[in-house]
Amino acid sequence: MTDLTRKTAVELAELMTSGQASSVEITQAHLDRIAAVDGAVQAFLHVDTEGALAQAAEVDRKRGAGEQLGPLAGVPLALKDVLTQEGVPTTAGSKILEGWKPPYDSTVVKRLRSAGIVILGKTNMDEFAMGSSTENSAYFTTHNPWDLGRIPGGSGGGSSAAVAAYEAPLAIGTDTGGSIRQPGAFTGTVGVKPTYGGTSRYGLIALASSLDTPGPCARTTLDTALLHEAIAGYDPMDSTSIKQDVPPVVDAARRADVNGLRIGVVKELGGEGYQPGVEARFHESVELLTKLGAEVVEVSCPHFQYALPAYYLILPSEASSNLAKFDAMRYGLRVGDDGVNSAEKVMSLTREAGFGDEVKRRIMLGTHALSSGYYDAYYGQAQKVRTLIQRDFANAYEQVDVLVSPATPTTAFPIGDRADDPIAMYKNDLCTIPVNLAGNAAASFPCGLADEDDLPVGFHVMAPVMRDDLLYQVGSALEAALAEQWGGVLMAQAPELEVTR
């Protein structure tokens, strides 16, 4: 039998509907692949072998009984460890939650279950999603399947690496400043940040509540769109959820047509600080889209340059208050409870022991930004910058349908390279952060390998609020044209991982 782990989600679904493979066989093949390569990749914090096989058996039983099933029923998926799944360890990459088993499912997990999607396990991430490399995980660093000496991006590096290492055809990430798109770019996979409020945050361990957005990851645009459709839509459990129909993302991915589409290249997202190989692949992709009939113009978004500083005020401010809940009283770690220490002392000792450096940095930065005398100068000003960035987008969308840029200024960097240089690390997300501040939709699609290092480059597409379908329209057109050029998808060029038995 052909290797089931090399199939797309769509192909796996076809094998199941035609009776050529069962979900249990497909799930087992992916569990075997995890056993063979995850020692090197380290994408998973927890593999739920029994739970996954039970979910798969249930899908097979339903299919056998002739029940109506969703298009991805029986397909396995890797879940970022920041979303709760009842009874399965959920840590958000932090020691403070080590061993915690949530008593409820997040909305994303509920929807995955009702779609019959099989959850293989929980993927590694930077602690509380604070980081761009997984090096801030309290457990271990995930390795990039394209080059095991390099980071896979972050915070959702585990999810993207799992997909790129053929450990799962689908994965869920969360994007607060680029945590789906940047790892997607670094691993040669597709990553989509839906419109804020388009996917539910219920059961997502909050980093920055006004920015956090769950979204889909996969190796192809169509697989990503199908997963997007499965998890998106209004949820009464999330008060910021949008009460509208899910944009027609699957139709758009199938249409793969940019003829007549107006595309704006963001002038400010390029030039100094951008790796030549990244810019080369980006501009070739823009040319390719022009050949496919898109009208391309240059667009200026003058306030994007302030997105990074504004983000590093808004995020730490929200994070510092969200993470106040880790107080050693109701769940998670408790340190120093010796019968003498006060609750406050225990709290301080626990947070000292349970949080890593980056979490401490951001909590203190947020505490500073929100303290009296600084609030207006920092947080208040940052919120005004947010308005200016929204206006930049609004002005741009009067001229064009979508905006494009490289997804990241560079390709994946070596492990350890920026681990103790927070500002260099923050600059990874220069291209992705403006969208989070404005709340619209964006995606990264693989667009080739940089000449300098043969590592994947991501093509970033930014669409207006609730026009997530446009991302897929551009991404699938680009994917088809590039596949024709290369004689296959980019992932086919990835080096084979050594398999251990």
Instruction: Tell me the catalytic residues.
Output: 80, 155, 179
**Token pair in block for residue 373:** 């005398």
* Nearest residue (CB) to another protein, 11 versus 86: 86
User: Torsion over CA of 118, 123, 129 and 132, rounded to 10 degrees?
Assistant: -120
> Does residue 100 interact with another protein by CB under 8 A?
yes
> Does residue 319 interact with another protein by CB under 8 A?
no
Least Å from the CB of residue 197 to another protein = 6
> Does residue 395 interact with another protein by CB under 8 A?
no
Q: Which residue type is seen at 63?
A: R
Show contacts with another protein in window 423-462 (CB under 8 A).
423, 426, 437-440
Handedness of CA 239, 245, 247, 251 (dihedral sign): positive
Region of 69-77, 97-105, 172-180, 396-404 interacting with another protein (CB under 8 A): 97-105
Out of 2, 17, 20, 239, point to the residue binding another protein (CB under 8 A). 239
> Does residue 245 interact with another protein by CB under 8 A?
no
Show contacts with another protein in window 202-221 (CB under 8 A).
210-211
| DSSP per-residue letters across 305-374 | GGHHHHHHHHHHHHHHHHGGG-SSSSSS-----SSSS-HHHHHHHHHHHHS-HHHHHHHHHHHHHHSTTT
CA dist 434 and 439 (Å) reads 9
Q: How far is CA 314 from CA 207, 308, 319, in A?
A: 11, 10, 8
> Does residue 393 interact with another protein by CB under 8 A?
no
Distance from the Cα of residue 315 to its chain's centroid: 17
Out of 28, 348, 417, 489, point to the residue binding another protein (CB under 8 A). 348
**Token pair in block for residue 312:** 């590093």
Out of 251, 360, 485, 492, point to the residue binding another protein (CB under 8 A). 360
Region of 95-103, 260-268, 280-288, 479-487 interacting with another protein (CB under 8 A): 95-103
Out of 278, 465, 471, 482, point to the residue binding another protein (CB under 8 A). 465
CA dist 32 and 168 (Å) reads 11
Out of 92, 365, 396, 494, point to the residue binding another protein (CB under 8 A). 365
**Token pair in block for residue 476:** 């699938």
**Token pair in block for residue 168:** 């799962």
> Does residue 89 interact with another protein by CB under 8 A?
no
Least Å from the CB of residue 412 to another protein = 23
Show contacts with another protein in window 69-88 (CB under 8 A).
none
The beta strands (E) that lie in 60-181 are given as 76-80, 118-123, 170-175
CA dist 157 and 416 (Å) reads 15
> Does residue 371 interact with another protein by CB under 8 A?
yes
Least Å from the CB of residue 436 to another protein = 8
> Does residue 308 interact with another protein by CB under 8 A?
yes
Out of 17, 240, 300, 500, point to the residue binding another protein (CB under 8 A). 240
Contact 73, 171 (CB under 8 A): no
> Does residue 325 interact with another protein by CB under 8 A?
no
Show contacts with another protein in window 47-66 (CB under 8 A).
none
Phi (first) and psi of residue 83, to 5 degrees: -105, 135
> Does residue 397 interact with another protein by CB under 8 A?
no
Least Å from the CB of residue 10 to another protein = 32
Least Å from the CB of residue 54 to another protein = 21
